[in-house]
Amino acid sequence: MSLPHAILTALIEKPSSGLELARRFDRSIRYFWSATHQQIYRELKQLEQAGLIRARDEEVVAQGQRKTYEVLGPGREELKRWVSAAQDLKPTRDPMLLRVRAAAVVGVDGLTGELEHHLAQHKRQLEEYLEIERRDFVDYTTAETRLQHLVLRAGVGLETFWIEWLTVALDTVRDVAP
Amino acid sequence: MSLPHAILTALIEKPSSGLELARRFDRSIRYFWSATHQQIYRELKQLEQAGLIRARDEEVVAQGQRKTYEVLGPGREELKRWVSAAQDLKPTRDPMLLRVRAAAVVGVDGLTGELEHHLAQHKRQLEEYLEIERRDFVDYTTAETRLQHLVLRAGVGLETFWIEWLTVALDTVRDVAP
DNA sequence: TCTCTCATGTAAGTCGTTACATGATTTC
DNA sequence: GAAATCATGTAACGACTTACATGAGAGA
């Protein structure tokens, strides 16, 4: 039940159309919650029906016409409620860890290539985060930017962890199957 | 497409019935791939139809009768293929990071309780991992145990990261909303 | 016999993915 | 006027979740 709240957050930050939202998800929100434009359109419709958001230009009904959505009072209230609601940790599902475990029983043939590939992707992602940090988080003081920076630091920390782990994993895999 | 491979791995490690598999997922496999017994039974049926596994006691057909599955040759081949197949990183979806981002726009009311709750859960999980490490990974040498240990170290590293991050997050949240 | 646990399963619904459809606007 | 892009949407499927159903055996 997080996608509606991701959309509410994005719309409070800046009222947008479906496609603009899809682009913002692709550009930055996907770092912690990814979504395709199909998911977004479906969810926008449901949020509008639930009275949490509304389209600004209600007169435009023709298909292909841009609709800009904004968050209504009940939408903001729902988001506040959700922020502090009790939620358990969702169960882990990491295919790479599963693959290493599988390699333990069927052999590590061909695994190094995949580990290298993932290592490269995580290094690229880390660079992207550090770039954003240098660009957007120098000399800030507001509560809002401090919290946004906190989220970015999670990204930096996670990528750093995976880079270290994959490096060790590559050493181990090369060692057990030379 | 990871659940069938999680099941194949578990069945190679030790042939089991559906319920035994569900218990083993709950006990250890869930650390990197969780699954419920409903998912497992459905997948077992599909794997059997695909000829990747088979029930040992084929004569027992009555409902409620225990069926022990084992992996066939094609099942092992499929797992080998999957271990080295090219796979992209799956997109991130972390509700807690999303909540902090949402708190940046609607306020941090009630968030500390949730951060504390998650911190406690991650600390408990880390302890569990370290306990397993002390118990099962002292003085080992085989390729299999080294790879299994690698997976466990990922769990330890991730929990350690989250504990550090949540601690900083709590400081920040308390600071911006005293 | 009653209840509890074991073991397998069905049903319904939500969330996410992939592929495609359609009209409007801009650009050459 | 043709082609590319913008913008919104439909359809179908697969993965996962939640709740419930059913029968067998074990112990009180």
77-116 in A: which are within 8 Å (CB) of B? 79-80, 82-111, 113-114
pLDDT, chain A, mean? 92
The answer to whether A39 CB is within 7 Å of strand C is: yes
Separation CA A169–CA A122 (nearest Å): 14
Mean of pLDDT values over A146-174: 97
Separation CA A36–CA B160 (nearest Å): 32
pLDDT at res. A36 = 93
**Interface check B120 vs A, CB under 8 A:** no
Mean of pLDDT values over A142-155: 95
Fold exhibited by the domain A3-84: Arc Repressor Mutant, subunit A (1.10.10)
Q: Is B159 in contact with A92 (CB distance < 8 Å)?
A: no
Name chain B contacts of A80, Cβ cutoff 8 Å: 106-107, 109
Which candidate from B2, B150, B169 shows the least CB-CB separation from A98? Answer: B2
pLDDT at res. B59 = 44
Instruction: Indicate the pLDDT class of residue A1, thresholds 50, 70 and 90.
Output: confident
Name chain B contacts of A110, Cβ cutoff 8 Å: 83-84
Name chain A contacts of B121, Cβ cutoff 8 Å: 88-89
Which residue, among A25, A15, A22, A146, has the nearest Cα to A76 in the 3D structure?
A15
Which chain C positions have some atom within 7 A of a protein CB? 6-11, 14-19, 22-25
Separation CA B150–CA A100 (nearest Å): 8
pLDDT of A65 above 80: no
Q: Hey, which residues does B24 pair with through a beta bridge?
A: none
The answer to whether A47 CB is within 7 Å of strand C is: no
- pLDDT in 10s for each residue of chain B, 178 residues: 899 999 999 999 999 999 999 999 999 999 999 999 999 999 999 999 999 999 886 544 455 578 899 999 999 999 999 999 999 999 999 999 999 999 999 999 999 999 999 999 999 999 999 999 999 999 878 999 999 999 999 999 999 999 999 999 999 999 988 7
Instruction: Indicate the pLDDT class of residue A57, thresholds 50, 70 and 90.
Output: low
Mean of pLDDT values over A143-148: 94
Percent of chain A scored above 70 by pLDDT? Answer: 96
Token pair 């841009």: residue: A66
3-state SS string over chain A?
CCHHHHHHHHHHHCCECHHHHHHHHHHCHHHCECCCHHHHHHHHHHHHHCCCEEECCCCCCCCCCCCCEEECHHHHHHHHHHHHCCCCCCCCECHHHHHHHHHHHHCCCCHHHHHHHHHHHHHHHHHHHHHHHHHHCCCCCCHHHHHHHHHHHHHHHHHHHHHHHHHHHHHHHHHHCC
Mean of pLDDT values over A133-145: 90
Which candidate from A32, A91, A106 shows the least CB-CB separation from B92? Answer: A32
**Interface check A13 vs B, CB under 8 A:** yes
Separation CA B77–CA B50 (nearest Å): 13
pLDDT at res. B139 = 82
pLDDT at res. B56 = 80
Q: Which residues contact A160 (CB under 8 A, 6 or more apart)?
A: A126
pLDDT at res. B58 = 53
Mean of pLDDT values over A155-160: 97
Check CB contact under 8 Å for B33 and A83: no
Separation CA B87–CA B77 (nearest Å): 18
Domain boundaries, chain B: 3-84, 95-176
Rounded to whole angstroms, what are the CA distances from A47 to A13, A104, B156, B178? 17, 46, 39, 33
- Coil, helix or strand at residue B33: strand
pLDDT at res. A59 = 44
Q: Which two tokens stand for residue A42?
A: 């479906």
Q: How far is A61 from chain B (nearest CA, A)?
A: 31
Question: Any idea how long chain B is?
Answer: 178
Residues A83-134: tens digit of each pLDDT = 999 999 999 999 999 999 999 999 999 999 999 999 999 999 999 999 999 9
Q: Is A10 in contact with A24 (CB distance < 8 Å)?
A: yes
Separation CA B91–CA A34 (nearest Å): 6
Residues 13-72 of B with CB under 7 A from strand C: 17-20, 37-38, 41-42, 44-45, 63-67
- Phi first, then psi: give them for residue B109, nearest 5 degrees: -50, 120
Separation CA A118–CA A35 (nearest Å): 21
pLDDT at res. A64 = 57
Residues A17-52: tens digit of each pLDDT = 999 999 999 999 999 999 999 999 999 999 999 999
Cα–Cα–Cα angle for B81, B3, A103, rounded to 5 degrees: 40
Check CB contact under 8 Å for B90 and A87: no
Cα–Cα–Cα angle for B3, B5, B8, rounded to 5 degrees: 115
Residues 144-163 of B with CB under 7 A from strand C: none
Separation CA A174–CA B173 (nearest Å): 44
